[in-house]
Amino acid sequence: MRIAISSDHGGNNLRREIMQLLDELHISYEDFGPQSADSVDYPDYAKPVSEGIANGEFDKGILICGTGIGMSIAANKVKGIRCALVHDVFSAKATRCHNDSNIIAMGERVIGPGLAREIVQTWLETEFEGGRHTRRIEKIAELEQ
């Protein structure tokens, strides 16, 4: 599994925490920054992650900003992306089982690092159920055309 991860300035600390988790889990990732605490525009950091997943360079992505809202909106503008804004473990599992989400977004100002780590690990370990959910994913893809 290859992960793309990014944040804006509001998600820098949580991004570093999640990269540490990925290291602990021996999961390969590419960090798209930013590398400083200077204010940046979240769409600029959602774009390379989303495009990298859409073109098959990465399997999944993790985006973090202050609330996760802006990152999730920006990511979902890219065809083929199913980014879920998640702040609890149940939703992390459900969005993989039912929605086959390929990006997760979280907010550093909303949840703490311990919960974020649990959410990401659950999301990464949960498989898409397929079945009736496949039909629904196909209908979502039709909306993109």
Q: Which of 9, 83, 87, 98 is catalytic?
A: 98
Asked if residues 133 and 100 have their Cβ atoms less than 8 Å apart, the reply is yes
Whose CA is closest to 100, among 72, 52, 141?
141
Q: Which of 65, 87, 97, 133 is catalytic?
A: 65
Q: Is 65 a catalytic residue?
A: yes
Which segments of the chain does DSSP mark as H helices, in order?
12-24, 42-54, 69-75, 89-97, 113-125, 132-143
Residues 6+ apart with CB under 8 A from 128: 96, 97, 100
Q: Is 98 a catalytic residue?
A: yes
Asked if residues 110 and 68 have their Cβ atoms less than 8 Å apart, the reply is yes
Positions marked catalytic = 65, 98
